[in-house]
Chain A
């Protein structure tokens, strides 16, 4: 799909691309959450042999919208003993970093026909920067503040326990997650997610999932596990374990503040899944070269929803981990494994290509202007 003109009147569409991408990401995350919740409820009820939502709208599709409206009009209760400012700050901190992290996540490409008739490909990403994945890691590490502060400012023992559990859990699993991400960076030779995805083009056998067999596969599984733990989802949902802690860190939250925690959780699920898609499952590229005609964002969405399904699947099938089991898994199993795999990949890289440090990863998209120059001649 080629957009025939890169100008719309006086507006240069190419310079507008980051802003369009920004609107797409924020709009998509905010708009898709009701659908995700509906999917989750339907899939879980199917797995548990229940009926699930079926009253509001066709097949219960509007159930989440109704729930949202209900939350919106509920009384905004503020308990007497809370630390007011931090209590109000916490839900904001839970949501904003998750939305911001989407900024360096490329989700599609657009092809424009330029003035000189050549076709150039541009990534759909807000910031095509060379620290892309580091930026996402930074934002993900800020997200835990929302949960810790919610737990602390509520002035409630259950909330505080939830907040402490969350911080311990996120710190532990961030290590395995960062090591897994580093392995993918070593596989692709760039921290820029656009380049990482380009290195996996032309068919699913080029995906990092199948690179360096079987290391790519193991490290992908490690990332997927730590990704579930990072977002505090079942079976790692200890911070809000309802049978022990009522609702954990958001016990004292009601109305839209509660809804913001919910949105933040789903937004961060989408972002970490998007990172997984970009790092290991080929990002926006199609799994088979003959399917290239389907636009990139559709592939990205398909892969994103597949990972979301994994989330739901885990939640429906696994019981919650005990706290010490969670810590053992994180520190004694996943961290050493990830470290060894990182080391092996580094060794493999050095042995296979001794000149690797001189070879710049040549990017398809950054190559485009040079090709345009060739076409001109």
Chain B
């Protein structure tokens, strides 16, 4: 068995994040505590990166490590907390309550862990990273758009792919209407058919793919490798190029485009909660402005 680098990276990061989180609490000096919190936030951002959520990673650094913690430090420095010894807890309920809560938290974590061990492992990395060329349901990011594209078959590549699918699925796609969200059944059908396409003969044909923007990786594979050995991989990459936003690409699961499309798509259930949250934040901003206004 080969050495698992990604697991090693994970454990190094996990060590740093847990260690810095403990130091936030254990440190007597408030400025150092705040600094360890910054370290913790930064490591969290790197965790997001390893899950290919680039956008969340950048926002994590900008908002938490960059803005909120700077304000924290600012306030700590202005407060003039005096000598660190003066901050020491004397008696009080805080210590026992904290320990009790920690025990509850850790045991609930353990419970959650024991409950999920029976389930099949979820894949955090998209299929192309761990080597399998096949799709899972999770790889289909925007099922509505995928179904729409396949039904319309606007360019030769999409039309060809649709025509290769099982007639039953083709019928389902033809019956699909833009207004409703695709059923789980339809998503599974599309996934199965895409996997069948990956399994099948080499999909590439210059005429057929003339309107598709091929990625450099695909291009390289088409030019160099012998077409027989890497057939499945070529097929997978070609499908990714035909549906650049709709299905997972190794680096695109958390990209700005995908998140934006999912967030503002009226067919997805997240538009309303998202807008509500932003209104809530707006109210918060107005409130703080009103509070901060000078009297008289």
Contact = CB atoms under 8 A, between A and B. Distances in A.
A joins B in a complex: yes
B161 interface: no
Interface stretch (B15-23, B60-68, B119-127, B183-191): B60-68
B257 A134 contact: no
B78 A131 contact: no
A134 B213 contact: no
Contacts of B65: 138, 141-142
A116 B73 CA distance: 58
Interface residues of B, number: 38
Given A130-B255, A134-B59, A148 B70 contact: yes
B35 interface: yes
Interface stretch (A20-28, A163-171, A206-214, A282-290): A163-171
B62 A86 contact: no
A160 B31 CA distance: 13
Given A366-B213, A369-B219, A171 B54 contact: no
Interface of A: 86, 115-116, 129-131, 134-135, 137-142, 144-145, 148-149, 152, 160, 163-164, 167-168, 170-171, 174, 191, 360, 362, 366-367, 369-370, 372-374, 376-377
Contact of B214 (A115, A174, A370, A377): A370
A191 to B, nearest CB: 6
Interface of B is mostly: helix
Contact of A367 (B35, B74, B213): B213
Contact of A168 (B35, B67, B74): B74
A160 B219 contact: no
Given A135-B58, A149-B35, 13 more contacts: A134-B55, A141-B66, A142-B61, A152-B31, A160-B77, A163-B77, A164-B77, A168-B74, A171-B74, A174-B66, A360-B244, A373-B209, A374-B210
A16 to B, nearest CB: 14
B276 interface: no
Contacts of A131: 54-55, 57-58, 255-256
Contacts of B132: none
Contacts of A163: 77
B216 interface: yes
Contacts of A370: 212-214
Interface string B248-276: 00001001110000000000000000000
Nearest to B212: A370
Interface in B185-208: 206
B223 interface: yes
Contacts of A130: 54, 252, 255-257
A145 B257 CA distance: 31
A141 B67 contact: yes
Contacts of A115: 223
A42 B19 CA distance: 50
Interface in B67-84: 67, 70-71, 73-74, 77-78
A137 B62 contact: yes
A160 B215 CA distance: 52
A166 B121 CA distance: 48
B38 interface: yes
Contacts of A366: 213, 215
Contacts of B222: 373
Interface in B211-263: 212-216, 218-219, 222-223, 244, 252, 255-257
A139 B55 CA distance: 14
A377 B206 contact: yes
A131 B62 CA distance: 12
A174 B67 contact: yes
Name the residue among A145, A149, A373 with the largest chain B CB count within 10 angstroms. Answer: A373
A239 B216 CA distance: 47
Contacts of B71: 171
Nearest to B222: A373
Interface in B142-196: none
5 contacts: A130-B256, A131-B55, A139-B61, A141-B66, A376-B206
A167 B71 CA distance: 8
A168 B77 CA distance: 12
Contact of A134 (B62, B223, B244): B62
A171 B219 contact: no
Contacts of B32: 86
B67 to A, nearest CB: 6
B70 A369 contact: no
Contacts of B212: 370
A369 B216 contact: yes
A266 to B, nearest CB: 21
